[in-house]
Chains A and B, each alone.
Chain A
């Protein structure tokens, strides 16, 4: 498939790959290589301008837009710029996907409190994004992305604004979700992160093309064998 914006040149070209269900993938590449554009295709913010994209067993390349929300609810997204709603508290930001999905408020409250505790923001639940540090905002964004235990988690530089310890914890969270069957795709510059994730596969993008197709680089599975399902 390929993607171009307007009448410009293709920003993604001739991509042809399959993500295994329950896999853990890192997407690497220089700035402008097309990582964010590829992630946009994965979280259904863009349609390919040529070719087909199948997600959750369905061809969504030209699916009616009315059908997309139900698929989007199965995808958790951590945006590079967090995209938190500024006037909502951390609690309400994290609760957003559950409320959109129509969950009961009692269920929402319990799940959000647990998630905020997990990312270390239990005492900042009432704070609004502008009063949070970059790292705290990123953790709220991650909590919002994973709270529904999505089938696919897409993260754009998720550890860019957190310290090494928090990065490890977040990666552990992604791994735990992956262990429950969530397919994880993480765009990153941090090869240390890649190396420290057992069983993860690396996809490298260069000027819109996939240089290392899936599977050419793969970390050995963890001792538990969690990554062996790719």
Chain B
């Protein structure tokens, strides 16, 4: 459809041959650049959140703040006996005290310092932690079952908020691009008002007139989007650089997947499509205000 709109040689002569409208091209380039960078950041954040969540989503800790005699063993036994539990491993006290040494120094080794007993539990995917909690309540009343994701919830909440912020920014950028296209379309109508009046007078339909301007705006928008996309690709390449290799090494996955790259490529395409739709709507609306 876009190509059809760009063809038709006799029609294309009806408006003067002009160079690209620099303000429109510049606005489209800047907006496309910003949208792609923000979208890439949002997608990378989503991937990071996914990696963090997938690593700990089935991991729990059983905490026994003041374990009674034999309660730790009961808790471990109860956990291991619960269906859906892959493994349950008590954390040795020595290991706990070693960890505490970072903050407390040698005092951490003192037997006067009570150390809670901990059991790390990994559930099978899809297993219900409530069954484990019930068994623990029955066998070791002082035990508390804590999901590891709960510890990271504030971080995950921040990542989700940033993702929404990225989406909102992309939408705002798209809205700003649309506003620029509306102004460009109105400007084009004003510039060529006499030509439009002549064409209307001779029997041109709104669709015929609209097509002339859409062609011009599509070319401006496509040029701007292409420039912005190239700049964004270059910026992402520079930012990612060696970081990609490191990320792959640390997380066994790239910050942006193949699907993400396809989505990013679609950003300038969507920007041009949006510009065309907005231009079409603006032009028709303006023409309908005339006889």
Contact = CB atoms under 8 A, between A and B. Distances in A.
Interface of A: 43-47, 65-66, 68-73, 75, 77, 79, 83-85, 87-88, 92, 95-97, 99-101, 105, 108, 144
B195 A85 contact: yes
Given A45-B291, A69-B205, 8 more contacts: A69-B200, A72-B201, A85-B195, A87-B15, A88-B14, A97-B203, A100-B208, A108-B10
B202 A85 contact: no
B291 A100 contact: no
B16 interface: yes
B172 interface: no
Main secondary structure of the interface of B (DSSP, over half): helix
Contacts of B13: 88, 92
A75 B291 CA distance: 16
19 contacts: A43-B201, A44-B291, A45-B201, A45-B291, A71-B203, A73-B203, A79-B201, A83-B198, A83-B201, A85-B194, A87-B16, A88-B14, A92-B13, A96-B198, A97-B203, A99-B11, A101-B203, A105-B10, A144-B202
A83 to B, nearest CB: 5
Contacts, number: 61
A123 B264 CA distance: 55
Contacts of B205: 66, 69
A95 B205 CA distance: 16
Nearest to A96: B202
B135 to A, nearest CB: 75
Nearest to A92: B13
A72 B208 CA distance: 14
Q: Which of B11, B14, B201, B291: most chain A CB closer than 10 A? A: B201
B204 interface: yes
B201 A70 contact: no
A69 B204 contact: yes
B191 to A, nearest CB: 12
A84 B199 CA distance: 10
A44 B16 CA distance: 27
Contacts of A71: 203
A96 B197 CA distance: 13
Interface string B183-224: 000000000001101111111111010000000000000000
A72 B10 contact: no
A37 to B, nearest CB: 14
Interface in B117-155: none
B288 interface: yes
A70 B195 contact: no
B193 to A, nearest CB: 12
B194 A72 contact: no
Contacts of A100: 199, 202-204, 208
The 8 closest A-B pairs by CB, nearest first: A73-B203, A72-B203, A87-B16, A69-B203, A69-B205, A100-B204, A97-B202, A83-B198
B14 A85 contact: yes
Contacts of B17: 87
Contacts of A66: 205-206
Contact of B201 (A77, A95, A105, A108): A77
A120 to B, nearest CB: 23
A150 to B, nearest CB: 10
A214 to B, nearest CB: 25
Contacts of A144: 202
A182 B40 CA distance: 66
Name which of A44, A73, A85, A105 has the most chain B CB atoms within 10 A of its CB: A85
Contacts of B10: 92, 95, 99, 105, 108
A26 to B, nearest CB: 22
A79, A99, A100, A144, most chain B CB atoms within 10 A: A100
Contact of B197 (A68, A83, A95): A83
Nearest to B8: A99
Contacts of B201: 43, 45, 72, 77, 79, 83
Contacts of B206: 66
